[in-house]
Amino acid sequence: MVSLDGMALSDVVKRLRGEPGSVVTLLVVPAGQPAANPVPVKLTRESLLLLEREAKGQLLTNPPMARKVSSMPVQRTFPLRHKLGSDLVEELRRVVVAERSGYSANYSDDNQSITIIAPPDVLTRAQTFITVTDWPDPLRSLNGPTYLTDTVLRTARSVFHACAVEASAETLSSLLSLRVLAELRGGEKTAEYQNYMMGGIPDPAWEKALRGDWPGKREALQRFVQEWNRYPLKRLTEEAGLALGFGVKHFCSVSFEGAPEEFYRITIEPDRTERGTSHDTFFFSELPPWSKPRELATNTANANAALLSLPYQQFDQTPHSGWRALAQDGGLFHEAAALIEAYLSHDGLGTDQRVNLHFHAAQCLAFAGDAKSVLDALGHLKQARYSPEPPDVPLRWNDYVEATEAFLKGDLDALKAARERIAAGPRLNGTPANLDVVDRLIARFGQPYRDAYRS
């Protein structure tokens, strides 16, 4: 046993040596407690891949699928140029840092900087957030949450801000050019696409289809966000001049910490209408330069085809497989629900399997949480019941479905009534199945389903 009393934290860390997997036990005396009653804390050593300039907050930024990223919180201080720390820190906490245990975002005593403690991937998004928000002018309309795209720079800043806060697919889609959306949909080379790329006015039906929903869109946009969030943005400037061939184009110069190149050029396009080129509405028209052009769309299509080919047990009942690979591992709830809906078209599915699939589709949509998704979830719940319920089922399944439906409808009386029927029903391993879930729904009634279900 070695005494660490009075040592600096950096000296303590140097003494925590050993092979990966070895356990170090610290005896910690909480503040205000007698030294005779230390609390044992066990730490397991692990290899962490961080750059040698970790103290400056520069983080390992290899491709997401190939890198080993530390989840250990890191501290970094960001100086501000235009905004006060108190003006930025609230949104940072809410949408980037998320204030989980051990994470924090606080402004300095002089209000000229922000110090963040969070894992590397969160710090990457936080730096991008600060880079595009710490400007004299706002990014959003004073009358609502709509991003401002009335100038070239504000449009570029808005997209990087949307990526940093992981905005909804609908929000991001509204900021992107038709070229980018067409590439994300699969790199189509239709007559409408070719006309647009030659500088023509976009076909209204084609534009409506691209701006609307299409299979794999949410997941493709999620990958688009992940790729732009791979490196932290550190500099953004508008270039002088514009290109006039094949449609008007403006350009910005951007720089990212740790990216393969020092500078990149991104394209910003003005809106094109029958009235001519707009000078007050712009769209972001660039895919992440370190990604292969069609990788975002092709990976999505190939992955979904592979998941849909799985047998039922692997698709629906196996952790980290099937739809769970999207919902549980990736947080892609809309995409997981769409995948389940596609799987329901398979021939040969039994009643139990269809009931489970409809319920899990409903859960994914309820986790997504937007109003339309909740309505769609209620539609799936209507098909997630047994009619009639088999007498030998060791749980009150239909009552559990009704409890979920009551929560989504905001009907507390019906939720409590279903809870009582479940409590009086058969027991599985000594406890009524799903009673703990329903009790959480009651305790957190009125909160989003995702928060109530998980807490």
Rounded to whole angstroms, the Cα distance separating 69 from 49 reads 7
Q: What is the pLDDT of residue 245?
A: 61
Q: Among 295, 321, 345, give the residue marking a domain's end.
A: 295
Number of other CB atoms surrounding residue 363 within 10 Å:
24
Tell whether 267 and 325 lie within a shared domain: no
Buried b (16+ CB within 10 A) or exposed e, 288-309: bbbbeeeebbebbbebbeebbe
Q: Of 295, 321, 351, which residue constitutes the final position of a domain? A: 295
**What integer pLDDT is reported at residue 378 of this predicted model?**
94
- Kindly report the CATH number assigned to the domain that includes residue 109: 3.30.1370.120
Say whether pLDDT at 181 is over 60. yes
Q: Are residues 189 and 274 in the same domain?
A: yes
37 shares its domain with 83? no
What is the percentage of the chain residues whose pLDDT exceeds 90?
Answer: 41
The answer to whether position 158 is within a domain reads: no
Are residues 65 and 104 part of one domain? yes
CA distances from 413 to 369, 385, 401, 404, 443 (A): 22, 20, 15, 12, 13
Total count of domains within the chain: 4
Both 87 and 186 in one domain: the answer is no
Q: Are residues 318 and 394 in the same domain?
A: yes
In which band, very low, low, confident or very high, does the pLDDT at 420 lie, cut at 50, 70 and 90? very high
Q: Please indicate whether residue 249 or residue 402 has the higher confidence score (pLDDT).
A: 402
Mean pLDDT of 332-338: 85
Local confidence band at 156 (pLDDT 50, 70, 90 cut-offs): very high
Give a yes or no: residue 89 inside a domain: yes
Would 162 be classed as within a structural domain? no
Q: Indicate whether 145 belongs to any domain.
A: no
Q: Within a domain: residue 244?
A: yes
Task: Report the pLDDT value the prediction gives residue 216, as an integer from 0 to 100.
Answer: 85
Last residue of a domain, one of 262, 295, 328: 295
Residues 411, 352, single domain; the answer is: yes
Whether 446 is covered by a domain: the verdict is yes
- Read off the pLDDT of residues 59-107 as tens digits, 9 standing for 90 and up: 323 333 333 344 578 889 999 999 999 999 988 888 787 656 678 899 9
- 58 and 113 co-located in one domain: yes
**What pLDDT score does 330 carry?**
62
Asked if residue 417 and residue 374 are part of one domain, the reply reads: yes
Q: Which among 237, 221, 355, 238 has a CA at the least distance from the CA of 300?
A: 221
Decide if 374 contacts 408 (C-beta within 8 A): yes
- Beta bridge pairs of residue 428: 431
384: tokens are 């997630």
65 plus 198 within the same structural domain? no
Query: 199-214 burial string, b = 16+ CB within 10 Å, else e?
Result: eeebbeebbeebeeee
Q: Render pLDDT for 284-324 as a digit per residue (tens, 0 to 9).
A: 999 998 875 445 455 566 667 888 889 999 999 887 788 88
Long-range pairs for 25-30: beta carbons < 8 A, 24 or more residues apart: 27/1
- Does 17 lie in the same domain as 65? no
Q: What is the pLDDT of residues 20-47, one digit of tens each?
A: 556 667 766 655 555 556 666 666 655 4
Summarize pLDDT for 193-217 with one digit per residue, the tens: 888 888 888 999 999 999 999 888 9
Residue 225 has pLDDT above 90, yes or no: yes
Which residues have C-beta within 8 Å of that of residue 20, sequence separation ≥ 6? 45, 46, 47
- What is the bridge-based pairing of β-strands 276-284 and 233-238? unpaired
Q: In this structure, is residue 154 part of a structural domain?
A: no
233-245 mean pLDDT: 84
| Model confidence at 232: pLDDT above 90 | yes
Q: For residue 205, what are the domain limits?
A: 174-295
Q: Which of the four pLDDT bands, split at 50, 70 and 90, describes residue 267?
A: very high
**Is 219 within the bounds of a domain?**
yes
| Same-domain pairing of 64 and 186 | no
- Please list the residues that pair with 229 across neighbouring strands: none
